[in-house]
A and B are shown apart, each in its own frame.
Chain A
Amino acid sequence: MATKIYQCIQKIGEELIANKEFLTDLDAAIGDADHGINMARGFTEVLQQISQEEEDISVVLKKTGMVLLSKVGGASGPLYGTAYMKAAGAVAGKKEITLENAKEMMEAVIGGIKMRGKAEKGEKTMLDALEPAFEALKDGIEAGESVEDCLMHMCDAAREGVEYTKTIRATKGRASYLGDRSIGHQDPGATSSLITLEAIRTFYLENLK
């Protein structure tokens, strides 16, 4: 049974819900002040609808994506919805997730977000956290690092990516209307992506290590 992926998504949901005000405040500065509210609404529904009785990891991930799509709205709904559905596709039929699988999932997630959002790294979006995180994970695997170290470096890179978003101007999404006035603020979407990756790492350290 896909108990672990269920618990992992539960952890992600709890962390995002705990950061509802923080994410919303970040969004108030450069967007429309609802990112935390929307993510919390989406994951509250996810936690009610997904089941740990499922056989397959990918079914749980796909269901998560579908619920986010139909409950989050705005731009985050399609982006996170697509992310989870792409992650599901990358582990179809799998009973566990290896480091190599995790890399494939992230690659699929990033591809999906780029396609859906028509965005690239450096535009002050989720990708500014996710792409460096993916590169760090890939490098860690190639260097033969332990799972623990790979996840640590992945989260470090995502955190640096979030810091980087403070220095650049938004060219995608609502924040782009601000032009140069968006500089100095960290991107809420990159931040929720970092929170997601950190929740995955925490879940690994607390339950799987």
Chain B
Amino acid sequence: MKKMINKPDDVVEEMLEGIVAAHPEYVKRIDGYDVLVRAGGSQGKVALVSGGGSGHEPAHGGYVGKGMLDAAVAGAMFTSPTPDQVYEAIKACNGGKGVLLVIKNYTGDVMNFEMAAEMAEDEGIEVAKVIVNDDVAVENSTWTTGRRGIAGTIFVHKIAGACAESGGELNEVKTVAEKVIANVRTMGMAIAPCTVPAAGKPSFELGEDEVEIGMGIHGEPGTHREKIRTVAETTDTLLEKIFAEDLYHEGDEVAVIINGLGGTPLQELYLANLRVSEVLEEKGIQVAKTWVGNFMTSIDMAGYSVTLLKLDDELKKYLSAPADTPAFVQV
């Protein structure tokens, strides 16, 4: 393992301190907890709390700020944060109008966030939750624990965050978040695995000419492995899986995220996006806005995911609303 770290066990702690040192105008840390909240606090609005295992930066601390999250809870590397941590986050940013938890669909995340919600409800805080499950690589059936939450989560933060910022009530913010979840789908691929610092070795092995299609952001197995092809061909494969959902049709308008997994050059992401834009044009689907970059990473994994969100007037309004956070700025 070759990494620019000090000690493997200190990575999360030092990263949080580093984020606060870099962005004191945006975020501060709750003393004694792995929780980042808005530097100026969150008064008079519904609060959005998200989080999860570390290793997906800038998710989620990078999205704390005006128009997006009010608090982000960082777990150990790839490990869900514990209920006491999430509970502190809820308490810290509750402004009396209730708190919406944005949870990615993993067994551990769901249980820990639900326990925190119960603790907060016992204290009289109104808590609602949504569970993001945009990863079409996972068969959504009673035979699995359900689809994983991945890069589509950023659209939930953005749109629900804008709704909360504009004065939406808790049930409204929750409803619009659920609308995003119903209309967002993601599919990814990896050309190289990631290495968790404490584990010291790659999370899975890939042959020199092999890629994994549909792997998860913790290196969970995908739909299949294949010999590496061109980025255009691979992007077609990812899009086919997304279009198989029968959600996006001619005449629709979408927003797009081409998400790097941490170890992918930006130029390759733009190549992927070129193909996505060509395919969408062929299909008569209009692109309202595209984001290309590292939004939901998997430490140093190389690869990318494609996210499509089908828009209507309401989603479009909130998507284009201003946001000002360390990792997502929109004027």
Contacts and interface: CB of A to CB of B under 8 A. Distances in A.
Interface of A: 32-34, 37-38, 69-79, 81-82, 116-117, 169, 171-174, 176-179, 181
B303 interface: no
A187 to B, nearest CB: 13
Nearest to B148: A177
B145 A73 contact: no
A32 B144 contact: no
What are the nearest 6 A-B pairs in CB distance?
Answer: A78-B111, A75-B108, A74-B108, A73-B79, A176-B144, A75-B107
A33 B108 contact: no
Contacts of B199: 33
Of listed A78, A117, A174, residue having the most chain B CB within 10 A: A78
A117 B142 CA distance: 14
Given A77-B112, A177-B221, A38 B107 contact: no
A77 B82 CA distance: 8
Nearest to A172: B145
B262 interface: no
Range for the number of chain B residues in contact with chain A? 20 to 34
Interface in B151-173: none
Contact of A78 (B76, B78, B83, B145): B83
Contacts of B139: 179
B145 A116 contact: no
Contact of B144 (A33, A75, A116, A171): A171
Contact of A176 (B80, B83, B145, B198): B145
25 contacts: A32-B220, A33-B203, A37-B198, A70-B85, A71-B82, A73-B79, A73-B80, A73-B81, A73-B108, A73-B112, A74-B79, A74-B80, A75-B108, A76-B108, A77-B108, A77-B111, A78-B108, A116-B111, A117-B111, A171-B142, A171-B144, A171-B145, A173-B145, A174-B220, A177-B221
Contact of A69 (B75, B82, B145, B148): B82
Interface of B: 75-76, 78-85, 106-108, 111-112, 114-115, 138-139, 142-145, 148, 198-199, 203, 216, 218-221
Contacts, number: 85
Given A32-B220, A71-B82, 19 more contacts: A32-B78, A32-B218, A33-B203, A34-B78, A70-B84, A73-B79, A73-B82, A74-B79, A75-B111, A78-B111, A169-B143, A174-B106, A174-B220, A176-B144, A177-B138, A177-B220, A178-B221, A179-B139, A181-B221
Contacts of A177: 138, 144-145, 148, 216, 220-221
Nearest to B75: A73
By CB atoms of chain A within 10 A, which of B82, B138, B143 has the most? B82
A33 B78 CA distance: 11
A171 B141 CA distance: 9
Contacts of A178: 221
Contacts of A32: 78, 203, 218-220
A60 B257 CA distance: 50
Nearest to A24: B199
A77 B79 CA distance: 10
Nearest to A177: B220
B84 A69 contact: yes
Contacts of B78: 32, 34
A38 B144 CA distance: 23
A129 B307 CA distance: 40
Nearest to B85: A70
Contacts of A71: 82
B76 A173 contact: no
A77 B107 CA distance: 11
Contacts of B81: 73
A79 B76 CA distance: 18
Contacts of A171: 142-145
Contacts of A34: 78-79
A174 B82 contact: no
Contacts of A82: 115
A96 B142 CA distance: 42
A99 to B, nearest CB: 31
A90 B11 CA distance: 40
B82 A172 contact: no
Contacts of B107: 75, 117, 172-174
A170 B38 CA distance: 40
Nearest to B137: A177
Nearest to A78: B111
A81 to B, nearest CB: 8
